[in-house]
Structure 1
């Protein structure tokens, strides 16, 4: 039994069928309508060009011999530098010269009439797969030359992280825009990737650091440009909105966008269409937008540095990432993770953390958040030990690291104070405190109960 072809690549694609036979147009249109986002038909090149002026088509299916003008002479479509379309030619005349000419004008495939529907479907899928591979290849090359912050794993047992994961799972499958806020190094890119991975969207995840691109190049980078649109534009190039089609575009550090670019981005989001620099025609796009910032955008709006209408357009849902100092109970888990991972990457032994080492890390405020923790662990592995002098406690001036416990205390008193401080650092989460202390939850409950009973007796 033949497996059903996978038409998922067609869901966001558009196709134009040009044939002077009404029966062929109807046959192909009926077969493709259920798979493509848009299917249009035309009986001549003139009619087809009028449609192409109004809408961009990812795929053209053209009969070679048409009345008045051959499809191979349709230079406007076959050689349009601004809006490339893949082309499948079909003909009832099995002539070698015709096939060679079709290849010369850029045909992606060539089909002889009469044909079975399966032949056309397979040709279409081959063309769209090649198109997707070209897009993925572009994105891979781009990511090789672009720093992507993937050093912030969403690991942890803290209430904030558990709540964040629950919200991601709920909103990921929706097309709604999401604004991700948080200090630098808290893992905003990782949250955006998680939203995309759980979205079910067939297109790619495309991250853009708005603060890392020169302001005068931002428009061309996002929307693309035509040949000669500006100095240095030696050829036309499609923008990141195009490469993210069917997927997710992550606009990191969106607060860095100049006001002029904010207006153009707002229009693109509202119209679901982009206009490449130097072009007079718009191109429809299907992109889910995620944005992130370490600024307070409401304050930026009040200060006149960020457009209020764009803020409202992006702020459908806001996810706020907690800084590492607000989830200290997760630090031991993150430290062990980075130690194992970085040791493998560096070809060195991981660092064995003692209880005191982890306690010192939990007392430090980590102003650079998870990124700073990761860099510290890497430094430890390179040195072969923990440079604890780098971890001067910033959260409490009376922490044990600075003053220690009085020498007159008994071991029981030291144990009690240490357990209470770990419990406080865990924000009262007894399970997290027990894991940090290396004891069973029942043991912790028993000790706390005994201390409460002793206090009541006095």
Structure 2
């Protein structure tokens, strides 16, 4: 079965912007599966050891991981241990204890394991299946690997958009799994698959809250209002909401800042045709820039919403996007309160990027993946440029205010990689515009309102260095004041700065 037939049969397109990591010590296995994976993934990386796999995983945001079953727990432990490398070479002893060893399964709570992975194994036992499923495995691939089986696994994963194992997989493989084990797997994964939203990047509490809110909002067709500054990901949130939809659907987008009456007339025509063909199709009407709608546009929209065609049609869902608070516009008399409550049946707020700084490094990795995957002719060069970024470069990314939010971060990552400059150089060369770094708030000691979040993979030495240099910068190079702030001696500051200078040279 080739790529074309697979795509046609399962309605799956190659994921040119997706990245996959294969952790497999046997080169023969890797050489067998690499050509197939290269057809569907824009970036395919291989690691023979857990040590190399951890390095790759911490540098990039992989959409899928295929891993030998004997390395699963060692990989999880290595990710969780951060600075403790003594356990990296251990074999997967937790399979002996199955699912009882919760630390082996999930590791440190501070680290989020890969959202989606498949397991390579020569022997597939029912207890191993259950253990791996509870860890989040989406599929099993038997050794020796058959291309047809691999393509089927990729097809199932593509159709689920990176979610955890679904009940459909259990049913499709019921001939190789006993009824009791199948029921146990179904119970353990019930409801969990939707919580892994591939389009919402980030491991902060804020990102997780957004994912959960979108899952909850997908359970009904009640009108939804999504608010957030420009560049915070409102359209991505809509895409994720559509991915979560169970029923067949169509999406009709209207820009409320344009000639709304023309768009509404077109909408009335578009709504009728698909609904006549299938009564199960749900039409998602996305009203972008709804906060910029004119008074005449508000009246026209209310008239459409009150029309019998819309009122009597339960297969329509309104999704409104706004950069400014509609409720504030209502209070100021610029927006109809009746229309507001028609649009805001449910409400989701997307905070600005500087309120979720923990996600900046992970987002930078994600956008690096996208750029490398979409530039086949210069992938190695782009990868080398990214790998040359130093600790201070990631620090500069996390300390920037990002008034343009996620979109501005994506632009900055692309600019740095394509123009061959580090983030630190990017900010130094950046022209003085309204998008420049906003002035940092006045420093008032440890209770300063400004915050900094270090990359989760840094060890204590890296954090100490970054924080010390940041305090020195705050005091404009005065090491005596910095030493007093850090409660250490001036000699300690001088010694550490000298050691760091020797290390970097």
Q: TM-score, normalised by structure 1?
A: 0.48
Q: Which of the pair has more CA radius of gyration?
A: 1
TM-score (norm 2): 0.44
More helix by share: 2
